[in-house]
Amino acid sequence: MRVVETVFEFEKTLKECSETEKILVVDFYADWCGPCCRIAPQFEALSSEFRQGNFVFVKVNTDRCSELSRQEGISALPTFKLYHDGKCIETIVG
């Protein structure tokens, strides 16, 4: 699973998913966040389980990519966002 490091990389991934009609699933997390650490294995398992499907899973470290976190309105961790056709279709917090 890829870790997105920049806004440019996120936008490129979002565009690629839109062009290939895949759903982008993003885990916004921080290394110091207990709940983020506890859910990480399940997110990894889902990534593996749906690898051949129409999903792309990525992680965004909110401390390293604070600009993207602000842009996406991340105010609590973990936050999961699903994107289809370049637009956020679902947000799950906590």
Each residue of 10-32: pLDDT tens digit? 999 999 999 999 999 999 999 99
**Domain range 2-93, CATH class:** alpha beta
pLDDT tens string 36-88: 999 999 999 999 999 888 999 999 999 999 999 999 999 999 999 999 999 99
- Enzyme catalytic residues: 33, 36
The structural domains of the chain, with segments of one domain joined by +, span 2-93
> How far apart, in whole angstroms, are the C-alpha atoms of residue 84 and residue 62?
22
Burial of residue 1, with CB atoms counted within 10 A of its CB: 0-12 exposed, 13-18 middle, 19 or more buried: middle
Residue 88, pLDDT score: 98
Q: Which DSSP string corresponds to 7-32?
A: HHHHHHHHHHHHHTTPEEEEEEE-TT
Residue 59, pLDDT score: 98
Residue 42, pLDDT score: 97
Residue 1 scores a pLDDT above 90:
no
